[in-house]
Amino acid sequence: MSVQEYLDKHMLSRKIEDAVNAAVRAKTPDPVLFISNHMRKAVSSVIRKIKARQILDSRGIPTVEVDLYTNKGMFRASVPSGDPSGMYEAVELRDGDKGMYLGNSVMKAVKNINDRISEALIGMDPTLQSQIDQAMIDLDKTEKKGELGANAILAVSIAACKAGAAEKEVPLYKHIADLAGRTNLTLPVPAFSVISGGKHAGNNLAIQEIMILPVGASKFEEALQMGAETYHHLKEVISERHGSHGCNVGEDGGFAPNISSFTEGLNLVKEAISRTGYNDKIKIALDVAATEFCIGTKYDLDPKSPNKSGQNFKSGDDMIDMYKELCSDYPIESIEDPFDKEDWEHTKYFSSLDICQVVGDDLLVSNPKRVERAIQESTCNALVLKLNQIGTVTEAIDVVKLAKDARWGVVTSHRCGETVDSFIADLAVGLATGQIKAGAPCRGERMAKYNQLLRIEEELGDQAVYAGEDWKLS
């Protein structure tokens, strides 16, 4: 890039001219100092350097971390990783060399950042998030970011977002709200994972997790206390009924007692809530992740048993009857992925019953085309937002707007492979999603998000609003 091209790109020639004219009008005795100070205020920092590396996530699996430098300092971001849900989500680029981290290393993605992405973004204004994200999308040229890797693009996108907030000298959540054109800032209701199953634990429970929602809290600080206290009471309940070995935890920090039925898990949680005394202030949510135990058109509720008799196989209609019964017997307010990711019809019918919030995760994978279809067909009424399924901050903002315009709920979500980066906490507040899933109230990579929400609430002071009873549509 030539000097003139650089000046043109950042409109510096015009800003220099404005500074000189201002000095003349001010009749300053030291025009050089005046112009220097004027330019310092007028010229924003630019991206000076981008450096990526491979680190390990909470499962000991490689992921991408980025340091992005401007005149304001260094801004670090690391991306989570999950179990890919199929062809509709952005590509998590891995090396595939079985001799390196069993094929899971991400050195290709790291190289793509250090070479190609870095070259494309050096000199750009970090406050121009959409332009930065679009530059990476254009550089990739594939529909699902398979050339550079969504893990590479997202790490840079998040780091740039942090740098943009610093450049504007505003909190990260405020910068995100500005990018989205929002004025309301809302502390989300946390969906604490308390019992883990499915692929996230070694027990016989088919569903992925049972969560608690402290919707009756008056502020986030109280919600966190309610969640933590319930979690510890649950530990006592499980220890009493299943022994201390039942208190081992799954990938998200939820307990993994050796149970096999929905009702066993729900009874444990119900007892724990009862012991806290919070009762109606805490509701229950399920992440069924039904795709994981769907076989053809049937759902195997005993998926880890080696001997398949077929006695525990359910049809889609049977699953609906089971959910209706569970929702009448327990304070279940939300069910995520109640059916297979391609079972649109049963999901739509169940959603039409208006029994609870019906959340699409594997069904939607934060993909705008899938979300648009679900909105048009009234398939579900809430979105799980997972940043690495879509790949940039700008696209995440757009898909949340799509969901909110349809009067859907939005659940900002972590992944099973997490880092200590707390970005999704600020994202949930800035986009006023009203709900956040970040795992159990334990483990450092999960608590990083919850503790950041505490800090945000403290910083907002009297202006802090907790979603509470309005969590579905904050």
Please tell me the distance from the alpha carbon of residue 390 to that of residue 401, in angstroms, as a whole number. Answer: 14
Q: Helices (H) and strands (E) in the chain — how many of each?
A: 17, 14
- Which tokens in the block code for residue 277? 């005394």
Q: Which of 174, 341, 386, 404 is catalytic?
A: 386
Per-residue pLDDT tens over the stretch 260-297: 889 999 999 999 999 999 999 999 999 999 999 999 89
Per-residue pLDDT tens over the stretch 88-100: 888 999 999 999 9
Choose the weakest-confidence range: 35-44, 47-56, 78-87, 110-119.
35-44
CB 55, CB 62: distance < 8 Å = yes
Where does residue 186 rank: exposed (0-12), middle (13-18), buried (19+ CB within 10 A)? buried
Q: Known catalytic residue: 252?
A: yes
| Strand order through the sheet with 298-300 | 294-295, 298-300, 313-314
Per-residue pLDDT tens over the stretch 12-59: 566 677 667 776 777 777 777 766 665 555 567 899 999 999 999 999
- Determine the average pLDDT of the residues in 364-387: 95
Per-residue pLDDT tens over the stretch 421-455: 999 999 999 999 999 999 999 999 999 999 999 99
- Which tokens in the block code for residue 34? 């005046």
One-letter amino acid at 209 equals: E
Where does residue 45 rank: exposed (0-12), middle (13-18), buried (19+ CB within 10 A)? middle
Whether residue 360 is predicted with pLDDT greater than 60 in this model: the reply is yes
Please tell me the distance from the alpha carbon of residue 317 to that of residue 349, in angstroms, as a whole number. Answer: 10
Per-residue pLDDT tens over the stretch 390-421: 999 999 999 999 999 999 999 999 999 999 99
The rounded radius of gyration (Å) of the Cα atoms in the chain is 24
Q: Where in the chain is the domain with CATH 3.20.20.120?
A: 180-463
- Which tokens in the block code for residue 28? 């300053």
- Options 3.30.390.10, 3.40.50.150, 3.40.190.10, 3.50.50.60; CATH of 47-166: 3.30.390.10
Q: Does the predicted TM-score (pTM) go above 0.85?
A: yes
DSSP 288-333: --GGGGEETTEEES-TT-SS--STTEE-HHHHHHHHHHHHHHS-EE
Please tell me the distance from the alpha carbon of residue 289 to that of residue 297, in angstroms, as a whole number. Answer: 15
Q: What is the pLDDT of residue 245?
A: 86
> Nearest Cα to 265, choosing from 169, 342, 330?
330
280 is in an annotated binding site: no
Please tell me the distance from the alpha carbon of residue 381 to that of residue 351, in angstroms, as a whole number. Answer: 7
One-letter amino acid at 356 equals: C
Strand partners of residue 69: 49, 74
- Which tokens in the block code for residue 122? 């050096």
In whole angstroms, how far apart are CA 327 and each of 14, 227, 272, 323, 350? 64, 21, 18, 6, 12
First to last CA, the chain: 46
CATH number of 180-463: 3.20.20.120
One-letter amino acid at 186 equals: T
Per-residue pLDDT tens over the stretch 166-193: 999 999 999 999 999 999 999 999 999 9
One-letter amino acid at 76 equals: R
> Nearest Cα to 445, choosing from 81, 97, 121?
81
Q: What is the pLDDT of residue 2?
A: 59
Strand partners of residue 335: 286, 358
Q: Which of 252, 302, 343, 421 is catalytic?
A: 252
Please tell me the distance from the alpha carbon of residue 385 to that of residue 400, in angstroms, as a whole number. Answer: 8
Please tell me the distance from the alpha carbon of residue 153 to that of residue 165, in angstroms, as a whole number. Answer: 19
CB 271, CB 255: distance < 8 Å = no
The answer for residues whose C-beta is within 8 angstroms of residue 427's C-beta and 6 or more apart is 173, 176, 387, 393, 396, 412, 433
434 Cα distance to chain centroid: 13
| Torsion sign across C-alpha atoms 376, 380, 385, 388 | negative
Q: Mean pLDDT across the chain, nearest whole number?
A: 91
Residue found by looking up tokens 């805490």 in the block: 282
Helix, strand, coil shares of the chain as percentages rounded to 5?
50, 15, 35
Q: What is the pLDDT of residue 344?
A: 96
Q: Where in the chain is the domain with CATH 3.30.390.10?
A: 47-166
Q: Known catalytic residue: 421?
A: no
What is the maximum span of the chain, computed from C-alpha positions, in angstroms?
Answer: 92
336 is in an annotated binding site: yes
340 is in an annotated binding site: no
Residue found by looking up tokens 């659940």 in the block: 411
CB count within 10 Å of CB 347 equals 26
Percent of the chain with pLDDT over 70: 91
